[in-house]
Amino acid sequence: MSRRILICPIGHVEESIIELVAKRIQLWCQVPCEILSTVETPYFAHDKNRSQYNASLILKRIGHRRSSAFRIVGVASVDLFVPILKYVYGLAQIEGQCAIISLHRLLPQFYDELPDADLLASRIEKTVLHEFAHTLGMIHCRDKKCTMYASTRIADTDFKKSFFCPTCRTLFEWHLLRSLKQAAP
């Protein structure tokens, strides 16, 4: 397993967003990121009744790539769900290789707000960090300002910070170091 993180655009995702995701992950983890070519919209995961895409099925498909990368992070333009929830902003394999986020409900326009690049970037950063930390084995935090707090509404995402509380920061560093040691060639 190599020490690189793959960023996988799924559907139509602006290049600047993919670059933001790669830049932020590299900053947190000090691990190089490689941007993959865009994967087409995952029609195999589309649920006609919900008009959404099953995030679990997409994660499985990403995982079947059997990549030698440290982690794979998908960035989707489509609206995601898991069967027990109405929607998700993202999903990750706990202590697994893959995570995915959806831009669909992070866009201010989804809430009938004007486009706001800074707000969108903040939401993306928090969501990616949250899901990436799940791949390392981290669970939700009770601190509403910590990025590991569970976002069930966009207001939760907007309220929390784009960094960890002191306890989660320590755990993130420990989990990351442990995972990188396991990934060493």
Quick one: average pLDDT of 111-137? 97
List Cβ neighbours of 65 (8 Å cut-off, separation of 6 or more): 72
Say yes or no to pLDDT of 67 above 80: no
**Confidence at residue 23, expressed as pLDDT on a 0 to 100 scale:** 95
Task: Measure the CA–CA gap between 109 and 97, rounded to whole angstroms.
Answer: 31
What DSSP designation does 45 have? G
Task: Measure the CA–CA gap between 135 and 117, rounded to whole angstroms.
Answer: 27
pLDDT tens profile 18-33: 999 999 999 999 999 9
Quick one: average pLDDT of 42-64? 93
Q: Which of 39-43, 52-56, 164-168 has the lowest mean pLDDT?
A: 39-43
Task: Measure the CA–CA gap between 2 and 64, rounded to whole angstroms.
Answer: 17
Domain boundaries, the chain: 5-183
Say yes or no to pLDDT of 80 above 90: yes
Query: Domain 5-183 belongs to what topology?
Result: Collagenase (Catalytic Domain) (3.40.390)
**Confidence at residue 183, expressed as pLDDT on a 0 to 100 scale:** 75
Say yes or no to pLDDT of 95 above 60: yes
pLDDT tens profile 146-175: 999 999 999 999 999 999 999 999 999 999
Sign of the alpha-carbon torsion through 53, 19, 64, 133: negative
**Confidence at residue 69, expressed as pLDDT on a 0 to 100 scale:** 85
Quick one: average pLDDT of 137-150? 97
Mean pLDDT computed over every residue of the chain:
93
pLDDT band of 184, cuts 50, 70, 90: low
Nearest of 7, 45, 42 to residue 24 by alpha carbon: 7
Sign of the alpha-carbon torsion through 103, 9, 57, 177: negative
Say yes or no to pLDDT of 185 above 80: no
Of all residues in the chain, the percent with pLDDT exceeding 70 is 96
Instruction: Confirm whether 95 is a catalytic residue.
Output: no
Q: Which of 113, 125, 131, 173 is catalytic?
A: 131
**Confidence at residue 182, expressed as pLDDT on a 0 to 100 scale:** 84
Residues in the chain: 185
